[in-house]
A and B are shown apart, each in its own frame.
Chain A
Amino acid sequence: SAVISQKPSRDICQRGTSLTIQCQVDSQVTMMFWYRQQPGQSLTLIATANQGSEATYESGFVIDKFPISRPNLTFSTLTVSNLSPEDSSIYLCSVPDRGLEKLFFGSGTQLSVL
């Protein structure tokens, strides 16, 4: 199993500012995923963070809004830029097990935008 430390656990931000979320894994992993979880909606994959290359974004998500860094095999950050109330959500980082069969999740970041 993988132990994932995600921070901050929650934050309240003003419109127009940015929030950077950090995700630290206790082992080296090739892929790290960033998800958004909005109330009443399914977990939605934002992007896959790849070490040594650009992140791969899913449809509807762009790098300018959600820049991602992946400096090494145990760490990644997701920034949510130019915040608006619609960005209020839980953001989760996740890594797959070695067999790519299941996902381990961080505890999430609850973001509220005023």
Chain B
Amino acid sequence: TQLLEQSPQFLSIQEGENLTVYCNSSSVFSSLQWYRQEPGEGPVLLVTVVTGGEVKKLKRLTFQFGDARKDSSLHITAAQPGDTGLYLCAGRVADSWGKLQFGAGTQVVVTP
């Protein structure tokens, strides 16, 4: 059973365009993380959101945690080729120390 559903599975855009990736669940998470993975590398943490309704910005990336802490979104403004990668959301269920539930990821390709 996959607790976290990510959409879309694949996204191809031109440099300078905006994009949004979604992460949805029927479960409540104590926190949610976004990772980016490049080919031949392991995932690297981008951000952790903890509070329902929380919005965090990392340069051109904006992360939002849903009010009910069941969903999250990642918005990239003016995408660049360096944003290309597999974006993974991961949620931590309360009392599951160290263990994360991962979504299947959204493959983002930004072409010059």
Interface membership of A46, Cβ < 8 A: no
Q: Is the interface of B mostly helix, strand, loop or mixed?
A: loop
- Could you count the A-B residue pairs with CB atoms below 8 Å apart for me: how many are there? 51
Q: Give the complex CA separation of A103 and B97 in angstroms.
A: 12
Q: Give the complex CA separation of A92 and B88 in angstroms.
A: 14
Contacts of B98 in A (CB 8 A): 31, 33, 48, 96, 100
Interface membership of A65, Cβ < 8 A: no
Q: Contact between B43 and A107 (Cβ–Cβ < 8 Å)?
A: no
Contacts of A96 in B (CB 8 A): 98
Q: Contact between A92 and B42 (Cβ–Cβ < 8 Å)?
A: yes
Within 8 A of B (CB), among A45-67: 45, 48
Within 8 A of A (CB), among B1-54: 2, 4, 9, 31, 33, 40-45, 48
From B59-67, B72-80, B99-107, the one touching the partner chain is: B99-107
Within 8 A of B (CB), among A74-114: 92, 94, 96, 100-108, 110
Q: Give the complex CA separation of A106 and B43 in angstroms.
A: 8
Q: A42-B2, A100-B97, A102-B45 are in contact. Are A107 and B102 (CB under 8 A)?
A: no
Residues of A near any B CB (own CB < 8 A): 4, 6, 9, 31, 33, 40-45, 48, 92, 94, 96, 100-108, 110
Provide 9 A-B residue pairs closer than 8 Å at the C-beta atoms, listed in order of the A residue. Answer: A33-B98, A41-B104, A42-B102, A42-B105, A43-B88, A48-B98, A96-B98, A103-B100, A107-B41
4 additional A-B pairs beyond A102-B45, A103-B45, A104-B42, beta carbons within 8 Å, are A43-B43, A43-B90, A94-B42, A101-B31
* A-B pairs with lowest CB-CB distance, top 7: A105-B42, A43-B102, A42-B102, A100-B98, A42-B104, A102-B45, A96-B98
Residues of B near any A CB (own CB < 8 A): 2, 4, 9, 31, 33, 40-45, 48, 88, 90, 97-105
